[in-house]
Amino acid sequence: MSSYQDTLDNYQIQGRLRALRTLPRAGSRFEIEGREYLNFSSNDYLSLSQDERVKRAAADAIFKWGTSASASRLVTGDLDIHSELETELASYLGEESALVFGSGFLTNVGVLTSLAGRNDQIFSDKLVHASLIDGVQQSRANHFRFKHNDIEDLQRLMEQNPSSAERIIVTESVFSMDGDKAPLAEIVQVANHYNAILVIDEAHALGVFGSGLLSTITVQPERLVIVGTLSKSLGSYGGFVACSNELRNYFINSARSFIYSTGLPPSSCAAALEALRIIQAERLGGELLDRAKLFYLALDSLGEFLLPFESQIIPLIVKDNQRSLELSQSLYQKGIICSAIRPPTVPENTARLRFSINLAHTEEQLCRVADEIVRVLVE
């Protein structure tokens, strides 16, 4: 038996084996063999991937530019739709410039490997996304991980490890697995005090909390880099960095994941651009958070499994890997799709069901699903 199969067998024993499950369509609601399913594992928070205006913009872009940018943007793949999206993203985020990458993963790896090198220092929250971790590792910088959302631990690490080289603090604004918020005002103050570059991933905040959670605080760092994706609230695909003009030009010339990747398809750019305009005009995030709070309160009897409410991401911490898989399957049999999230995506002994509330979920559906979840967990 091959070592690969041995590894897969161990994953199976540990309740960590993953497999693909093909669905008939994307979105928060669909039918499978005549039965309605509600999807609580989609990051399409504002349900804009199914919005007719967004789909029409994507289709029109295909007929105007074709299905692909067909080359790296530094070769012949730079289209005016890329620049239009970047201009509006920068304006929305209050930054001088923006640069669109092929995905959020490519963005984070490209940005961090460009900003930091072997002699530099990166201080990252212990729960940042895998793409940020990979970017840190590939940069070969000296890496220090501070306790989750612990400002005192961040300050201690920076104080104990002085350096004249570049220093970078990395965090998310809304964390993807716990749904909690970073203490950004305090992190900004630390970054300014130590003259550190601050890299904030706004992937799960953009559109839900206006132009991101950073927009809710008044203090701005002197050196700020915002990263995010087009694949969540913007209902499209791709990633971006918003920053100064100088840094944009630097990333164009140094980020290997940008230089050596085909430009983002024009349909993805057009869809994200239309979604961005809808978000600015209709302010959908507040309504989403109201529905998420309704759902959270309906799960009140499961308090031992719940973290404090902070966002549209609501995890139920069941700890055991196999138990999380069993609960996920039980809910699926009731028409509720909620994937089991297990290590290494989350820390050991914190396996969970991660409920992602979308605007396509009605209040009636949310209350009904909450009742089903309570019944399944107390069986």
Read off the amino acid at residue 170: V
Under 8 Å between Cβ of 184 and 311: no
Is position 201 annotated as part of the catalytic site?
yes
**Which residue out of 232, 311, 324, 339 is catalytically annotated?**
232
Helices 130-139 and 104-115: angle between axes, nearest 10 degrees: 30
Q: What angle do CA 11, 125, 236 make, to 5 degrees?
A: 75
Under 8 Å between Cβ of 255 and 113: yes
Cα 228 to Cα 212: distance, rounded to the nearest angstrom: 10
Is position 195 annotated as part of the catalytic site?
no
**Which residue out of 41, 43, 68, 215 is catalytically annotated?**
43
**Which residue out of 51, 95, 120, 172 is catalytically annotated?**
172
Work out whether the CA dihedral 129, 134, 136, 137 comes out positive or negative: positive
Of 97, 54, 92, nearest to 269 by C-alpha is 54
Is position 82 annotated as part of the catalytic site?
no
**Which residue out of 28, 39, 49, 176 is catalytically annotated?**
176
Cα 67 to Cα 228: distance, rounded to the nearest angstrom: 23
Of 149, 105, 107, 104, nearest to 125 by C-alpha is 149
Q: Residue 337: which H helix or E strand, with range?
A: strand 336-337
**Which residue out of 204, 231, 267, 361 is catalytically annotated?**
204
Is position 293 annotated as part of the catalytic site?
no
**Which residue out of 82, 129, 181, 361 is catalytically annotated?**
129
Give me the active site residues, please.
Answer: 43, 129, 172, 176, 201, 204, 232
